[in-house]
Structure 1
């Protein structure tokens, strides 16, 4: 297996972050154009009465700098140590799939129960990735 294959799910995760930035910008511009907020309210990012559509995206963007940071670290660690294999690659793609689904729900319906289920799935998948990395380090995997 080509060890650089592990970078494709990481790039997909990065693409999600860029899309969320785009979506936040679009929703904020729409909010200003519709008169819901003034552009100067975004100066310190402490927006009073931020429209829900914009707030959901802003909160999702913050989420992209939480659990995914551990994902990036695991991907880089697996690659650097030669621990990339079919199992870790599948886990990486599954983690990213949960992040996409989580983000979709967060910026649309924001149904907390569904979002939480996806978060827990991603959390557990990433935990298994770290266990796979540890097993690789001790020579078991």
Structure 2
């Protein structure tokens, strides 16, 4: 596999995480309705999310914030032939940080750990954008 297309494996892994969180949210919502702790009508207004699925819904929202910048920079690095082993390593570390962040978010939801994982992902994402900017300058 050419290194230029290897950048899409971390992208696919990130998309898989998003699908997994969707599945988990649907499962928790279904269980809440079945258990009687929520009604189907509770899900009509997005601001009203029953407790069993609230953290999963928020985690899903998180997957369309910082990861969007990740998707864009991966595509741009591919299009400009900027993919190298450092880029791949950082991309995989970013995805691992997102998996860990999502896991903490939907399980213990310990803010201190979640915040550290978010900050790590933020700096990894920033690093990819910095590498992209340097790549564009030709250095």
Q: Same fold (TM over 0.5)?
A: yes
Residue number in structure 2 paired with 1:14: 15
Partner of 1:23: 24
Query: 1:68 — aligned with what?
Result: 67
> In the alignment, what sits opposite 1:126?
125
Alignment RMSD (CA, Å):
1.0
Q: Once superposed, which parts of structure 1, at least 4 consecutive aligned residues long, lie more than 6 Å away?
A: none
Could you tell me which runs of 5 or more consecutive residues in structure 1 were left unpaired when the two chains were aligned: none
Q: Residues 72-122 of structure 1: CA distance to partner in whole angstroms, max 9, x if unpaired?
A: 000000000000000101000000000000000000000000000000000
For 2:110 and 2:97, how far apart are their aligned partners in 1? 15
> C-alpha offsets along residues 3-53 of structure 1, whole Å, 9 cap, x if unaligned?
0000000000000000000000000000000000111221222326x12x3
Aligned counterparts of 2:91 and 2:43: Cα–Cα separation in 1: 35
Cα distance in structure 2, aligned partners of 1:117 and 1:41: 32
Q: Secondary structure at the match of 1:82?
A: coil
CA distance in 2, matches of 1:19, 1:46: 22
Instruction: Report the equivalent of 2:53.
Output: 54
Q: TM-score, normalised by structure 2?
A: 0.96
**How many pairs are equivalent?**
138
Q: Is 1:37 aligned to 2:41, yes or no?
A: no
TM-score, normalised via structure 1 length: 0.95
- The 1-side partners of 2:88 and 2:11 are apart by 10
User: Unmatched 5+ residue regions in structure 2?
Assistant: none
